Amino acid sequence: MADKLIIAPDPEDPALSTAIAGIDQTGAPVTTDVITERPLTLFLNSQEIVTMMTIGDHPDLLAVGYLVNQNMLSRDDVITAIEHDEDIDVVVVRTERETNYEEKLKKKVRTSGCAQGTVFGDVIDTFEKVKLPAGARLKTSWLYALTRKINTQPSLYLKAGAIHGCVLCEEDHPLIYMEDVGRHNAVDKVAGWMMLNKTDPSGKIFYTTGRLTSEMVIKTVMMGIPILISRSGFTAWGVELARQAGLTLIGRARGKRFVALSGTERIVFDSDPEAEGEEDPRHRRKASADD
């Protein structure tokens, strides 16, 4: 792809996947790449928060993004240290202000996110107060360019499947591309990068390879991003929440095709769909297997 990503996937990192021998449908020997996953326990100061299954890259961004998206850290919080101990699979986020979330931890909502996604009860209360920028726009030429660039970017998704990708974009430029076994982990890594880099979300676009569930909508809105795009489909509650928040929600974005079910007023039709090609069959096979 032409764009230089600030953070790109590293499909050749030996810690993220491994080759395993087996047989195929004819009984012939095959070797296939499979994703590695490992536990990561997150502490906020002295409070243990959660143990997540993750591929293990960018633990600092995953930790901060998780805390931001669960409303445990605010944008104004000062992070004094992020400590990762790889030997015991622990990451500790330390803040200037004292935090205590024992009561919050008792109030959870299990979501449809793969690998058992969870949101905490007061996140929904905060979600209802978020106002997304009405002036944001999405040109269809940007949408087509983004899907081409993201689909051809070397990634674990293309190498091994069984993983989700999330990409922070601006206009037709992908900026940050994160992957993980759970789509909530991938989006949290992006949220962590935005928090630590004090990124303005108002003109950003969020792309995911996963389904447009309630959890994906909630996290995108909580990050203040006004446009969410997926190559996969929708859930009814995801659409309902997107309409409630004024989020532009676009799914089934493959090749020249897409469907928008919320926030359609932001879409600028400046490109002829018939001038766009169909999606590479390799990407369609990956999508049907992993979405």
Q: Spell out, as residue ranges, where the chain has pLDDT lower than 70.
A: 1-2, 100-121, 280-291
**Claim to verify: residue 150 and residue 262 sit in the same structural domain:** yes
Q: Are residues 226 and 105 part of one domain?
A: no
**Among 203, 208, 176, residue whose Cα is nearest residue 192:** 176
7 in any annotated domain = no
Output the six-digit token pair for 252. Answer: 């089934």
CATH number at residue 269: 3.40.140.10
Instruction: Report how far apart the first and last C-alpha atoms of the chain are (Å, whole number).
Output: 23
Predicted confidence at residue 125, as pLDDT, reads 78
Count the domains in the chain.
2
Same domain, 227 and 172: yes
Angle at which helices 183-196 and 59-69 pack, to 10 degrees?
Answer: 90
Q: Give the pLDDT confidence score for residue 249 in this predicted structure.
A: 98
Residue 162 lies in a domain: yes
pLDDT of residue 47: 92
Q: Report how far residue 206's alpha carbon sits from residue 185's, in angstroms, rounded to the nearest whole number.
A: 14
Query: 77 with 207, same domain?
Result: no
Residues 169, 280: one domain? Answer: yes
Q: What is the pTM of this model?
A: 0.88
Residues 276 and 211 both lie in one domain? yes
CATH of the domain at 113: 3.10.20.10
Per-residue pLDDT tens digits for 127-141: 888 889 989 999 999
Same structural domain, 117 and 178: no
Could you list the residue range(s) of the whole structural domain that residue 212 is in? 138-290
